[in-house]
Structure 1
Amino acid sequence: MTTGASDPGAYAVRVRGVRKRYGHVEALRGVDLDIAPGEVHALLGDNGAGKSTLVKVLAGAVTPDEGSIEIGGRRHRFTSPRDAQRAGIETVYQDLALAPTRRRTPTCSWAASRRGPACWDGSASWTARRCARRPARTCARSTPRCRDLGAEVGSMSGGQKQAVAVARAAMWGSALIMMDEPTAALGVAQTESVLDLIRRIRDEKGLPVLLISHNLPDVFSVADRVTVLRLGRRVLTAPIGEVTATGLIEAMTGADTLRGAS
């Protein structure tokens, strides 16, 4: 089942025919993926489906054997994570990659400084002084329950750390934000806070988000469309309103294929 806009210009990021082999194992078998501007696109799949490999390809950590990546209609070839970052792709991994002794406001200010004067709204009109104040306000909004802007990251809760990591990525990213299991091991309130931040990235900044998650309630809560990978192939892409949890599980496990053959 595949649905979506037919106009290539309607997509912020396009992946076409991506293949990746590790010896005799073919992790990705000609995968296509279209991500529209300002959408939360969920990427699902069982273990070994190829999700992690596809994310690493988009993040520049893995070079595909075949296929192409287009951002804003321009083809890119990533040979390192720095290439992906230069193209505007940022990734929030499960380990967050935060320095535990760095304070929250400097963490975000340092993040913004990597992009120069282009801050949260992507404007190039911000002066360096105003840009230095912008991250502090962004961090304060993203982690409202942490009132001490000078707090060390190591002293924060899991949800607060996740929010800082997401806010940092939102400051850097201009083309795509990828989030790998962003609510794993979080409580109910912390999970909702992170999901709300994902919505704000989509709605306020207009950035597309690629959400990798095993948590189907989270997916149905924030995703606009969903893609399922199975054994290195894309088997489903659809608007979230056209699928059910049962249908997604069947697509991930192959039960839909077995049922169709019976």
Structure 2
Amino acid sequence: MPNMSRARWVVGNWKMNGSIAANEALLAAVRELPRIGANVGVCAPYVYLPQAVQALDKSAVVVGAQDLSAHAASGAFTGEVSGAMLAEVGVRQVIVGHSERRQYHGETDEIVAAKALAALGAGLVPIVCVGETLVERDADQAFEVVNRQLGAVMAALGERINEVLVAYEPVWAIGTGRTASPEQAQEVHASIRAKLGSAGAVVPVLYGGSVKASNASSIFAMSDVDGGLIGGASLVAGDFAAIVAAL
């Protein structure tokens, strides 16, 4: 059974999706979601963050960003957005190290760790993503890869590691329709919690990877799974509501 002493989260990651009109309806529905024992977050593209903050004002839903700069200070970093900028517009969480950032933008473990540190420095909660590719899983390297990725963040944050959320996202299960079985997710989540040491008792570890209304309950029932980082299903109000209800 899930450990109810740790915070439980369902966080929607819109990725590069949305429009002002479509967002309005989706955010209105998310605002009204019943959250029995679940914390809810929405991570929108940069340009829609002010809209999300305004729509969810005075609600319990947390607005997050999908990335931030590793540079804490303002300066000549064209195209970058700092943690301080995000905090100023009302953002409270930020995803760091998503597999798509690692894959398409060459983000290393060290860059991800620097971004997590920058997030904390700006008063934001980093959602630290870790996960292996299909090649790495087939080579029995899943635990090694995840521990390496998480270890870099732990080294950078020190005792502040207990202030993050961790999201395990097997790369082979993102946007592919494939999903890790509940047992596969549990094995890696247990390994992550062991790697966290004493912080493992308080740090929520979420699962991300083709979570849908149809499989959320079985995944969330695992003892070390504290919720989900939800991609495509977070763009459909009914599907997202069902996933929140499953927690």
What TM-score does the superposition give when structure 2 sets the normalisation length? 0.40
From the CA coordinates, give the structure whose radius of gyration is larger.
1
Instruction: Tell me which of the two structures has the higher relative contact order, counting C-alpha pairs closer than 8 angstroms and 6 or more residues apart.
Output: 1
More helix by share: 2
More strand by share: 1
